[in-house]
Chain A
Amino acid sequence: MNPAIRISIGALAISLATPAFAQIDFSGEWAPAYHEDGPERVPGPEIGDYLGMPLNEAARLQADSYDADRISVVNEYECRPHSADYGMRGLGDLRVTREINPTTQDLIAFHTYMPAWGSVRTIYMDGRPHPPDYAEHTWQGFSTGVWDGNTLIITTTHLKANYLRRNGIASSDKRTLTEYWARHRDYLTVVTHVVDPVMLTEPLVRSQNWTLDPGQKSQRMFCEYQPEVPGAPGAVPNHLPGANPFLHEVADWYGLPYEATRGGANTLYPEYQLTMPKPDKPPPAKCERFCVCTVLQDCNLHGAPPPR
């Protein structure tokens, strides 16, 4: 056979053996960027801030009933980690590694580690099915990924109930998380899409970014829960319906219409501005609260929070 033809056939064979889809490598140490939704993520959301959340009536009442003492009084909450969806919002140093089949060189899975709560995820890329409904749920759920061009689409089920925002907006164990991972050189963007039939009237879509940081040294997470606040055994701090005195604070501090802070799908879109009521209190003349929050440590330096 003509050597040129043989080389061509060989090249063809190699190309056929390579998966037809893209395989972007997300491996590396990624440092989170907090420029997007900063105050919500660090230092964290205010009580009563449901802005941008397509909540249903049930989720809103659950959030209204939330008493922040709960995370101290209910000891089991002290070490409760962020689940896979909220983990992307939190204190998210992120390490990604690949697991490759040494024989076939196929990608079996991506593994992620976040030192905040020591969260470990596996994103299976080998086409395995999700477990049946009766299988255990976990904080990080069960994830599988597929490629759409250079975008990795991850579907996560079997999540434990957790929170959509850590101010009492709960998520249910019936939610499905879809993520879209895209790498642009040293930047990673992850768009999350949460469908929660129990808490939301439409999907909750958020985006987060990281920058590649090869020198990042992730820490180990320790947590051991302890009684922090004396309380009656089995107490679950909660506000009775209509009796939470803190719900108006966020609207008043930032000069927002109270109705808008209550969330709901109708408040998400630009058309809402046409019907949005005026705030009860005007916005402050200059920033007074959490003005610079791109780094966790400086969040309270520019304007101390008003006394409660």
Chain B
Amino acid sequence: MGWFGGSKSEQATPVSRENRQKCWETRDAYFECLDRVGVLKAGEEGKACAKENTLYEENCAKSWIEYFNKRRILAEQQKDMLAQAKVQSQEARRANS
């Protein structure tokens, strides 16, 4: 992890705007790759996105990677739920009219 100064005992320096931007970009690239191979949960893609994953891990802290990966699954579930709710409300409207 580049921005921890290499040493774990040292106190972490804050993530700069630039660091954050780089982390988000590599994350987006990795998730795009997962989308292409049709994998939702990070780590289940085999060797498919190895290059993107390496960059992602180089530029983001472990805690951030865990957080982003979890959120990707949650966002997907939310999308499903929202779509389901939409279908249900449309059906209800059709039944009423």
| Bind each other | no
B→A interface (CB under 8 Å): none
A→B interface (CB under 8 Å): none
